[in-house]
Amino acid sequence: MATAVAGALGLLWGWLWSERFWLPQNVSWADLEGPADGYGYPRARHILSVFPLAAGIFFVRRLFERFIAKPCARHVGIQDSGPYQTQPNAILEKVFISITKYPDEKRLEGLSKQLDWDVRKIQCWFRHRRNQDKPPTLTKFCESMWRFTFYLCIFCYGIRFLWSSTWFWDTRQCWHSYPYQDFLIMFVHHLATIGLITFSYINNMVRVGTLVMCLHDASDFLLEAAKLANYAKYQRLCDTLFVIFGAVFVATRLGIYPFWVLNTTLFESWEMIGPYPSWWLFNGLLLILQVLHIIWSYLIMRIAFKALIRGKVSKDDRSDVESSSEEEDVTTSTKSPRGGNSSNGANRVNGHMGGSYWAEE
């Protein structure tokens, strides 16, 4: 029994690490055992280091947000408003959880008769209950400041690596990527990038991978800077940073990435070493990223265009706190569904677009 299990595991291990799948012809795993021009090749076991590194980065992030980001937020006038509380009510809570978070006029009137509450009071209860699930501005500011610092440091480190690196792209050096809002799209994005990062590192496909990471990080910290300005209510600075972010995003994701990186991995590599099984896998994942880049660039250009025309970037409705006036507008919109030309309708479209993109992280 033990021999059969060991044999099965051996076959599975051999299939997972088949040289004919992962490596070009005339290249074996043994070729990656020795040093290359003074550099040690990556090892598959190095991937295990991501777990303690992730724990360490999480610990550093907690310290950063508490002792650096939070004091900075208070310095620019952002205070901790604390969690939003609502008056406990089992009937309204059941409606909120199982039926709707935005009751229409008919349902509001029914609840008013059932509870003997004013419709206005029920509207306020639902508004406060929705706000209860949203993080305060102080939390969002601290999160964005951490991401801004992290992305900027990683970008600078990647540039330094590329500047000092003496490696050239060959049969052992290629690509990986860094993740950059719909759950399904982000799920596909994360699967693609995790696969690229893991297997490109194991195969020592480092050079192009570092280029891809730098291209992604070049715009990430600008987005976080725009969000910081937004939370601090520096609207003009927010608009300026977002437009700059959009320009950098489009230039790197629709310019440099396809015409430089993909051109190398698809066409130049084909001429140099020809395709092999994992070549199709890696380039397929890179092409998936390019499709996502096109989708996101379209959304960004829409937001940036509206910012230039209307003078204000769309809100982050992922966690904005609703006001009483917003509640009244929602009630009005339920009475006239075709009122898409009203100012409230425009704001809700902007909020949805803004929230879709602000959540892209």
Report the b/e string of 304-329 with b at 16+ CB within 10 A.
bebbeeeebbbbbbbbbebeeebbeb
Nearest in space to 179 (alpha carbons), one of 169, 191, 171: 191
pTM equals 0.69
Percent of the chain with pLDDT over 90: 23
**Cα 239 to the center of its chain, rounded Å:** 20
The residue type at 153: C
Q: Is residue 90 part of a domain?
A: no
Residue 350 has pLDDT above 60, yes or no: no
Strand partners, 36: 39
Look at residue 8 and tell me if it is in a domain.
Answer: no
Residue 39 pairs in a beta bridge with 36
d(CA 354, CA 344): 15
* Inter-residue contact 232 to 224 (CB < 8 Å): no
d(CA 155, CA 218): 6
183 part of a folded domain: yes
Mean pLDDT, the chain, as a whole number? 76
Which residue range is the domain that position 343 belongs to? 154-361
58 within some domain: no
Ramachandran category for residue 336: left, alpha or beta (phi over 0 → left; psi -120 to 50 → alpha): beta
pLDDT at 236 over 60: yes
Mean pLDDT of 341-360: 35
**Which band of pLDDT confidence, cut at 50, 70 and 90, is reported for residue 48?**
confident
Q: Is residue 106 domain-resident?
A: no
Pure H helices in 232-273: 235-251, 263, 269-272
Is 332 part of any domain? yes
Higher pLDDT, 100 or 161: 100
Q: Which of 341, 323, 344 is nearest to 332 (CA)?
A: 344
To which H or E segment does residue 322 belong? none
How many domains would you assign to the chain?
1
Give residue-wise pLDDT tens across range 22-44.
888 888 877 777 665 556 677 77
